[in-house]
Chains A and B, each alone.
Chain A
Amino acid sequence: MDFLLWVRGPGFDIALVVFLIGILIRLLEVLILGRKPDHSEPRGAELGAGLRTLMTRTLPEQGSFKRSPFTVVGGYIWHIGFFITLFLFVPHIELINATLGLSWPGIASNLIDAVAAVTIVTLLAMLFSRLSHPVKQFLSGPEDYLTWLVTFLPMLTGYLAYHRMIDPYPLVLGLHILSVELLMVVFPFTKLMHAFTFIFARWYNGAMAGRRGVQS
């Protein structure tokens, strides 16, 4: 119980400070830097092309799907599953409501439960694939395993907490919140930042190509 009180109190405060300040620093230090002014005459519009690329790079691409269907499908499944459990589980919505004042309806807890189970299995399969596939293994560094771990732990502890698989409940709930705090602290300083930067990156790729009048 003391542990739960700590993770809900000072622990969450620390994680929130690191998370918010970290993200703002990481974003602003890049965005304020800007780009060199492009004095060439534009051959096309930036806006449409930027938005289009933002969309097309979010959808699966045929070539990579054919080459590695497992990575593509698995990636989609766990990302979507993660978002469903994060944003549609009522206790999570309550937290967001208390922090930002935004609220929306949740979905049934047993549906979330099923989605979480699929997400956890997929994440494990993705790790297995990363460890067993020689190319993926070669490309993976400590940061990749760290980001996998901090993503996986909230899912796992959340599942354990929902099913009360660890006794007493305040302990497992505390572990769940702590694992999320770990994610929040690690987030700004690792490739997890892609959750924010992908928007700028995709937009820029599309807009740049649009300005030059080429396909992105």
Chain B
Amino acid sequence: MAEELKRIGKTLGESLRERGVSRRGFLKFCSATASLMALPPAMAPAIAASLEKAKRPSVIWLSFQECTGCTESLTRSHSPSVENLIFDHISLDYHHTLQVASGAAAEAAREAAMHENEGQYIVVVDGSIPLGNPGYSAIAGISNLQMLEETVAGAAAVVAVGTCAAFGGLPQASPNPTGAVSVSDIVKDKPVVNVSGCPPIPTVITGVLAHFLTFGSLPELDSLGRPMVFFGKSIHDRCYRRPFYDKGLFAETFDDEGARKGWCLYRLGCKGPMTYNACATTKWNQGASWPVESGHGCLGCSEPNFWDAGGFYNALSIPDSDITRQAAYVAGAGVALGAAAGAINRNKQSKAASAHETVTIDDLDKQS
């Protein structure tokens, strides 16, 4: 415990050097972070200087209605990498999946971290919060809602990791049996950063934390509370297959000539045009590839309601309902109504014809 406290006292720079990260490697990470966050290159030394001096901030990670995919994404991504070490060098004081302690000891760790770093710590949340029966999801007998409210009270900022925490995600998908809501539906008085994605890109999380360590503030956010630097451009705008879209060259099936030639996947249901995320530029698995590069359209996983946004394999412009069948029914009804209207008109016509009276010259004379 004493050693742990001593370690917390160390700066990030010291800690990294202890772990065998060279100065060169560290600066490389700082430059990459600067360019990733669209900061001018001159900012890299400033980031390095700030990170060198930064004390390890306390992070409390709360997992609610989630699948642990977000944690998997982070811990198994580029390990070991500088990003991972940065992650090591925040003080992750509470995390169900990763911490050794369990039961009462685990909860005690959370409470201790909250007391020691009152007003300073960062709360990371993955998973949505059920507002239905509190028993749908509880930890150590504490409902998710209660734990979130309690923990966030003394936090400096909240990072909602993954689409479930950011927008409700899969648990909120229709018919939303647990009454799941997002973090920002509950937390109104603290800054909330949404790092959406199912799962989110690891670099985006480390980027947000690096920004916090460097500037002591959270990055600029878009209208959905996501960091602009990563979510400012759509997948479609950054997609290397975009020229094929513009030329009108589309894969029609997953194994036709167009698919083999790497043409646009719009017709196969790619949701790239409505999805904002950094996949097209940062990619996955150490930059190895990303969904569209591997031949599958984007599912739109970083957007709210992506589960209910129509079929994954329907083109974005196609309405959700079974319109062919509906159009057939409606056309049938239209023909019936049209025929009825026609019959009424004919009836009127024949009545008018039978009521028609011939006017003679004498009649006209009488009237005038």
Interface set of A (CB-CB < 8 Å, partner B) = 1-2, 4-5, 8-9, 12-13, 16-17, 20-34, 90-92, 94-95, 98-101, 105-110, 164, 167-170, 173
Q: List 21 contacting pairs A-B, 8 Å CB cutoff, sorted by A.
A: A5-B305, A9-B321, A17-B326, A17-B330, A27-B338, A28-B338, A32-B339, A32-B341, A32-B343, A33-B345, A90-B248, A90-B267, A91-B315, A94-B267, A98-B315, A106-B248, A109-B247, A109-B248, A167-B222, A168-B223, A169-B274
Question: Shortest Cβ distance from B285 into chain A, in angstroms?
Answer: 27
| Closest Cβ–Cβ distance, residue B326 to chain A (whole Å) | 6
Tell me, yes or no, whether B240 is within 8 Å of chain A by CB: no
Stretch of B49-57, B68-76, B306-314 at the chain-chain interface: B306-314
A5 touching B234 in the complex, CB below 8 Å, given contacts A28-B338, A91-B266, A168-B224: no
Q: Which residues of A contact B316 (CB under 8 A)?
A: 91, 173
A24 to chain B, nearest CB (A): 3
Q: Among B276, B334, B345, point to the contact of A24 (Cβ < 8 A).
A: B334
Q: Distance (Å) between the CB of B345 and the closest chain A CB?
A: 5
Interface residues of B (CB under 8 A from A): 222-224, 234, 237, 245-248, 250, 266-267, 273-274, 276, 303-305, 308-310, 314-321, 323-324, 326-327, 330-331, 333-335, 337-339, 341-346, 349
User: Known: A32-B345, A33-B345, A91-B315. Contact between A16 and B234, CB under 8 A?
Assistant: no
- In Å, the complex CA distance between A92 and B337 comes to 29
Which of chain B's residues have a CB closer than 8 A to the CB of A168?
222-224, 276
Closest Cβ neighbor of A107 among chain B residues = B248
* Nearest CB on A from B245, distance (A): 6
Task: Collect the chain A residues with CB atoms within 8 Å of residue B309's CB.
Answer: 1, 4-5
Complex CA–CA separation, A24 to B341 (angstroms): 10
Residue of A92, A98, A100, A173 with highest tally of chain B CB at under 10 A: A98
Given A20-B331, A29-B342, A98-B323, the answer on whether A164 and B337 have CB atoms closer than 8 Å is no
Q: Do B248 and A94 touch (CB < 8 A)?
A: no
Name the residue of chain B whose CB is nearest to the CB of A168. B223
- Interchain CA distance A1-B321 in the complex, whole Å: 17
Ordered nearest first, which 4 A-B pairs have the shortest CB separation? A32-B342, A28-B338, A24-B334, A29-B341
> When the two chains form their complex, are residues B248 and A101 in contact, meaning their CB atoms are under 8 A apart?
no
Q: Is the CB of A109 within 8 A of B246?
A: yes
- A178 and B87 alpha carbons, distance in the complex (Å): 45
Tell me if A28 and B267 are in contact (CB < 8 A): no
B197 to nearest A CB, angstroms?
Answer: 15
Tell me whether B317 and A110 are in contact (CB under 8 A): no
List the A side residues contacting B330 at CB < 8 Å: 16-17, 20-21
A12 B319 Cβ-Cβ under 8 A = yes
Residues of B within 8 A of A91 (CB): 266, 315-317
Say whether B310 contacts A31, CB under 8 Å.
Answer: no
Question: Given A1-B305, A1-B309, A29-B342, is A101 in contact with B331 using a C-beta cutoff of 8 Å?
Answer: no
Q: Is the CB of A95 within 8 A of B304?
A: no
For residue A170, which residues in chain B have a CB less than 8 angstroms away from its CB? Answer: 274, 303
Q: Which interface residue of B250, B317, B343, B349 has the most chain A CB atoms within 10 A?
A: B317
Which of B246, B319, B337 has most A Cβ within 10 Å? Answer: B319
B250: A residues at CB distance < 8 A: 90
* Centre residue among A8, A31, A101 by max chain B CB count within 10 A: A8
Contact A101-B303, Cβ < 8 Å, known A25-B337, A32-B338:
no
Q: Are B266 and A90 in contact (CB under 8 A)?
A: yes
Complex CA gap A28/B332 in Å reads 13
